[in-house]
Structure 1
């Protein structure tokens, strides 16, 4: 798979969720989730492994797009995309949080309504609360838990890293399940493991060569 094809695939998955602020998380371990979408070729589904240690995140995507892995390092303000097939990696600077907040305000946070339903569910062994996010007459159901910290979407940096309007109204919470208005479920956590992780998982291998990031397409 080419670098450009890898970026396009990762961007597709990242579009399923809004981009939150970076936030150090006390949780350490792995979170396995199933992500899906609908496109010109029909429904697509893939397994995503989300690793957390000391505020750093690593996202590895399996399924038909296997081979994509990304590392987010808030302290370095960097995102690294690892291309295992080519023994190479691409590097991006993370967006400034102040600029993120400005873009969020410009997007119109007041146009989104967040409603906590009080209804709870067990997903992957954890309890989450169903929260309705309504905008333009459509509502999305997010089942959120505070036990895993704030969800950080590294793929969002490929789309400018803007903070979602509704994200500012919520605390440091992680979606275990997302249900769209049409009943489809683009994200569901299937397994959570609290365990120690190696620092090597959050570093670019020394054998990898740095390559240039392809330019993003302009919206529209």
Structure 2
């Protein structure tokens, strides 16, 4: 049975950034994401080309992303179930979509302003995207990261993600405001913990039933 919680998790992660460590970092990040009047707390566990995202609010749930295998696993502990999504084909109009998005926004610009966040030196970047002002504090001290695309298909994620793709930048804090200065969304890393993680955390749990949902969109990942 597909629960409301499962659908909520899938919708949440269709709009959330996915960040994979290319080198140098293994451990856990505590994060919060605020949007549409709701605040969600989560942990990002990173190991090699895999991440595990644990939602801390409400019913326990987790999403595992495997970049090498091109898979996403959604785990629902309360039902001892999991669902697996495979990488789908890239959309035919992806290049056209990216071009339009590029034309509608200004590139991220460094301000030269720096501050420490969670013990890491971060620099402030700013940009404008369709009359939304975006402020990002990024660090170069956590290795080379990149962003996976929307795992449910459809849009390619926030424009600011495109500016950081493939570069040695990791966003510690990102705030998006509308033309009037009202905060629309905020993503923030609240704690960084370097630690060795078990490989079992990045697999479907033993004894869990695999759930099949016909018609679910395939995942896109670079």
Is residue 28 from structure 1 mapped to residue 50 from structure 2 by the alignment? no
- Report the Cα distance in structure 2 between the residues aligned to 1:98 and 1:161, rounded to whole angstroms: 10
- Report the Cα distance in structure 2 between the residues aligned to 1:13 and 1:75, rounded to whole angstroms: 19
Per the normalisation by structure 2, the TM-score is 0.79
Counterparts of 1:123-202 in structure 2 under 5 Å? 123-148=117-142, 149-150=144-145, 152=147, 156-160=150-154, 162=156, 164-170=158-164, 171-181=167-177, 182-183=182-183, 186-202=186-202
Find the residue that maps to 1:180 and give its secondary structure.
strand
1:82 offset after TM fit, Å?
A: 0.5
Is residue 91 from structure 1 mapped to residue 87 from structure 2 by the alignment? no
Where structure 2 has 5 or more consecutive residues not aligned to the other structure, the ranges are 218-222
Aligned residues of 1:72 and 1:80 also touching (Cα < 8 A): yes
Where structure 1 has 5 or more consecutive residues not aligned to the other structure, the ranges are none
1:19 offset after TM fit, Å?
A: 6.3
Aligned residues of 2:21 and 2:48 also touching (Cα < 8 A): no
Please list the CA deviations of residues 122-157 of structure 1 after superposition, one character each: whole Å capped at 9, or x if unmatched.
Answer: 112212111112112221111111233325458x30
- Report the Cα distance in structure 2 between the residues aligned to 1:147 and 1:14, rounded to whole angstroms: 27
Find the residue that maps to 2:11 and give its secondary structure.
helix
Find the residue that maps to 2:115 and give its secondary structure.
strand
Q: What is the total number of aligned residue pairs between the two structures?
A: 209
- Report the Cα distance in structure 2 between the residues aligned to 1:128 and 1:24, rounded to whole angstroms: 19
Aligned residues of 1:100 and 1:162 also touching (Cα < 8 A): no
Question: Residues 147, 7 of structure 1: CA spacing in aligned structure 2 closer, same or farther, 3 A cutoff?
Answer: farther
- Report the Cα distance in structure 1 between the residues aligned to 2:24 and 2:88, rounded to whole angstroms: 23
Q: In the alignment, what sits opposite 2:48?
A: 54
Question: Residues 143, 84 of structure 1: CA spacing in aligned structure 2 closer, same or farther, 3 A cutoff?
Answer: same
Per the normalisation by structure 1, the TM-score is 0.80
Is residue 117 from structure 1 mapped to residue 107 from structure 2 by the alignment? no
Aligned residues of 2:32 and 2:188 also touching (Cα < 8 A): yes
Question: Residues 106, 37 of structure 1: CA spacing in aligned structure 2 closer, same or farther, 3 A cutoff?
Answer: same
Specify which structure has the higher proportion of helix: 1
Question: Residues 23, 191 of structure 1: CA spacing in aligned structure 2 closer, same or farther, 3 A cutoff?
Answer: closer
Q: In the alignment, what sits opposite 2:220?
A: none
